[in-house]
Amino acid sequence: MTDIEHGQLPVETVECRIERLGWGGLGIARHADGRIMLLWHSTALFPAELVRAEITWKARHAEGRVLDVLEPAAERVVPACPWAIECGGCDLQGAADFGSSLKQQMATDLIAKQLGRELQWNWTAADDYTKRNVIQLHYADGRLGYHQRGSHELVEIGHCMAARPALSDAINALRNSIADGLMPALPGRWELACGNPEQPVIAWHEGDSTRFWQLGEGGWQDSDGRLSFLLIDGEIANLASAFFQTSGGAAIRWFRALFSRWQLGGDRLHDLYGGCGLFSRVLCNSFRSFSVVDSSADSITNAVANLKGQDARCFHRDVASYVDRMKSRPDDVIILDPPRSGLGRALCLALNEQGAGTLVLIGCDGAEFCRDLKLLSQNWRLEKLESADLFPWTVHCEFAALLSNRAI
């Protein structure tokens, strides 16, 4: 009986040269017979590198992992993180300071294929202050860390280079407190989050998102779970377990600069998937009134508090059902920051019926983002496109598009 009859695809080992980088950090190479191969490596790939890879064939192409880099690029470095090869948290540790450049190449390849090579767009690289304000850890059998890449095997870690320093330091504090019986030894996902400034660090467990602990000089203590981020004209608060930008401080700086470059303003801002009202708060001097919509009750509670003093209505509602009844006008602006999976076909078609003059689409998965832009093109014209590296050492980046209504 063959491997295929057993339900297993035959594995082939090849030597090949990486031609270019595709979306998601995949190295694109060609087999000796000319067919495409999509390859991944735990610490990044560079164009022109000669590699040895293990592949399996699909209908028209092969997929596989790089076993050895035979001729490394001059930019390749030994990862500074001791857990980089096994840990599933970062994909570009082997690129170090060139990580943003590699990510720009990936985004360029994606945009050219999906939206056209002639499209002009802007890229913002990560800076030294772009760090995560939230991390997801896993606990089992006395060990605390991240899942191994592509599996549920636990890789125990001592710190995290991608996290804010206070957040990274809290990993061992959480592990030690669990070991000493001062924190519950709950298996599964633990999350750590901090605001700006970084103190306090908040911890909670997936099994009970209503109980929080905060780390202080005396160790972990009960907390209300509230975090705050400084703005130029005050601060914005959020519950630690509710959605916020992963690299909160860097995201706030980038979006504020982006919205200023685009000169966003108008009568009403429809802030959809609005969370705690971050975008409305950043744009509070540019619109007469605001509507914030989110499916999280905690987020909407925080949005009400964050927009106090503004002409704002905050709705705890599914965005799709809200758009079905929404009436927007030419002086209005719609902003959407959906989950990684994007808007989807039905919501894009509903948005094509809206009368707002401007729509801003934000997304952290480039493939889904491009799909939604094409679906929106029936009624919306793409005017500007920008992308930023808000997720250092990973293959992820943030996209934002400014669109105008074709009917106006």
Q: What percent of the chain has pLDDT over 90?
A: 89
The whole-angstrom separation of Cα 200 and Cα 191 is 14
Q: Does 171 have pLDDT greater than 60?
A: yes
Say if residue 5's pLDDT is above 80: no
- Give the tokens for residue 368: 């889904």
The CA distance from 264 to 335, in Å, is: 10
Asked if the model's pLDDT at residue 280 lies above 80, the reply is: yes
pLDDT at 6: 35
What is the per-residue pLDDT for 8? Answer: 62
- Residue 2: pLDDT band (50, 70, 90) is very low
Q: In this predicted model, what pLDDT tens digit does every residue of 12-52 receive, in sequence order? A: 999 999 999 999 899 999 999 999 999 999 999 999 999 99
Q: Please indicate whether residue 88 or residue 86 has the higher confidence score (pLDDT).
A: 86
C-alpha separations of 51 from 13, 72, 90, 313, 361 in Å: 10, 8, 20, 56, 38
The answer on pLDDT for 151 being more than 90 is no
Which segments within 242-357 are labelled E, that is strand?
A: 266-272, 287-294, 312-316, 333-336
Sequence-separated (6 or more) residues with CB below 8 Å from residue 196: 133, 228, 229, 230, 248, 249, 252
pLDDT band of 319, cuts 50, 70, 90: very high
Which pLDDT belongs to residue 3? 38
pLDDT for 62 equals 96
* pLDDT over threshold 70, residue 255: yes
In the structure, what pLDDT confidence band is assigned to residue 209 with cuts at 50, 70 and 90?
confident
pLDDT of residue 4: 35
Tell me the mean pLDDT in the region 152-174.
95
Sorting pLDDT into bands at 50, 70 and 90, what band is 129? confident
Mean pLDDT over all residues of the chain? 94
**pTM exceeds cut of 0.85:** yes
328-363 pLDDT tens trace: 999 999 999 999 999 999 999 999 999 999 999 999
DSSP 87: B
pLDDT band of 149, cuts 50, 70, 90: confident
The helix, strand and coil proportions of the chain, stated in percent and rounded to the nearest 5, come to: 25, 35, 40
Rounded to an integer, the average pLDDT of 214-219 is 92
* Whether pLDDT at 1 is above 60: no
